[in-house]
């Protein structure tokens, strides 16, 4: 029998997780094990089922079969809001959807959602000051403190993604799900956001879907490769980048290493 990681080290586990759409199997009996404190990447060619998998984990889709465990508790039947309250937060769920508010105000809204706006304490000046201090600390973490007074709409694309990560951090995620955080970015922004993810991952767990292999190779502790909805390979970058089935899925059978592929 395969040796499984002890339960205490696993933050998230799926068992035979499956999603079918009218006869099409988008996610096919996926067994995923995410270790606490890891940056775990979910990769695969287009149509591999990565985003569907994310949607199942956050219950935006209901699994056809299989189960999802978070901290050893079966959360398969829970609603999206319950899962978010447990600390499983996906970046777009609370992204910067207020372009005409300032950067600081956007993060403050993230904090207010987490603390609950119904409490009178937060309406007082003392409460707002407390939120501002926390919001500025988060902006410092993502190198946006200098932009606190700018409208979110005026930020360049890469810094908007940094703001999304800051508003995600405001929800105090135990497990942070990032869906293609560097998509559509130039090299400079990719490098900045990669460094940012590494920084915010200190002391928490990140599960990310990412196409950019350079990003994956530099920050992922473990990688799960999906193809046609099923797990094709798993391991560190050195292992999966040379795996024959992975090379076949991404690049055709002639390649010997998955170097710089963007899938």
Whether residue 48 contacts residue 229, with contact meaning beta carbons closer than 8 Å, is answered with yes
- Report residue 118's pLDDT band, with 50, 70 and 90 as the boundaries: very low
Which of 137, 172, 207 terminates a domain? The answer is 172
We report the CATH number of the domain holding residue 177 as 3.40.50.300
Inform me whether the pLDDT recorded for 126 exceeds 70: no
The Cα–Cα gap between 148 and 103 comes to 5
- Report residue 241's pLDDT band, with 50, 70 and 90 as the boundaries: confident
Domain assignment of residue 47, given as a range = 1-87+173-263
Both 77 and 188 in a single domain? Answer: yes
Identify whether 121 is part of a domain: yes
The Cα–Cα gap between 88 and 183 comes to 22
The Cα–Cα gap between 155 and 159 comes to 6
Beta strands, E only, 135-227: 175-179, 205-209, 222-227
Which of 105, 139, 172 terminates a domain? The answer is 172
Both 38 and 157 in a single domain? Answer: no
Stated pTM of the model: 0.85
Identify whether 92 is part of a domain: no
Q: How many domains does the chain have?
A: 2
User: What is the pLDDT at residue 200?
Assistant: 87
The Cα–Cα gap between 189 and 158 comes to 5
Of residues 96, 91, 94, the one with CA closest to residue 153? 96
Both 38 and 144 in a single domain? Answer: no
Which of 153, 172, 191 terminates a domain? The answer is 172
Q: Which two tokens stand for residue 34?
A: 């995410």
State the average pLDDT over residues 189-202: 90
Residue 159, phi-psi category: left (phi > 0), alpha (psi -120 to 50), beta (remainder): alpha
Q: Which two tokens stand for residue 239?
A: 């292992």
Both 123 and 18 in a single domain? Answer: no
Identify whether 49 is part of a domain: yes
Both 124 and 248 in a single domain? Answer: no
């Amino acid at each position: 029998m395969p040796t499984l990681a002890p339960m205490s080290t696993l933050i998230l586990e799926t068992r035979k997780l499956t999603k079918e759409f009218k006869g099409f199997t988008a996610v096919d009996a996926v067994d995923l094990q995410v270790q606490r404190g890891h940056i775990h990447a979910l990769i695969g060619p287009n149509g591999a089922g990565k985003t569907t998998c994310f949607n199942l984990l956050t219950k935006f889709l209901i699994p056809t079969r299989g189960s999802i465990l978070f901290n050893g508790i079966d959360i398969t039947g829970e609603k999206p809001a319950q899962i978010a309250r447990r600390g499983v937060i996906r970046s777009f769920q609370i992204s910067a959807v207020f372009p005409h508010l300032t950067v600081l105000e956007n993060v403050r809204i993230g904090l207010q959602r987490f603390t609950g706006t119904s409490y009178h304490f937060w309406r007082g000046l003392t409460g707002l000051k407390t939120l501002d201090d926390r919001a500025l600390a988060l902006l410092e973490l993502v190198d946006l403190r200098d932009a606190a007074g700018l409208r979110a709409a005026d930020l360049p694309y890469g810094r908007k993604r940094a703001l999304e990560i800051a508003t995600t951090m405001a929800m105090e995620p135990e497990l942070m799900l990032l869906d293609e955080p560097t998509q559509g970015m130039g090299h400079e922004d990719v490098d900045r956001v990669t460094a940012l993810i590494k920084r915010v991952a200190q002391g928490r767990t990140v599960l990310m879907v990412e196409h950019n292999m350079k990003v994956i190779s530099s920050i992922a502790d473990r990688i799960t490769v999906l193809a046609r909805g099923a797990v094709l390979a798993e391991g560190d970058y050195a292992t999966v980048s040379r795996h024959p089935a992975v090379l076949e899925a991404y690049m055709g059978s002639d390649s010997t290493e998955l170097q710089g592929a963007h899938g």
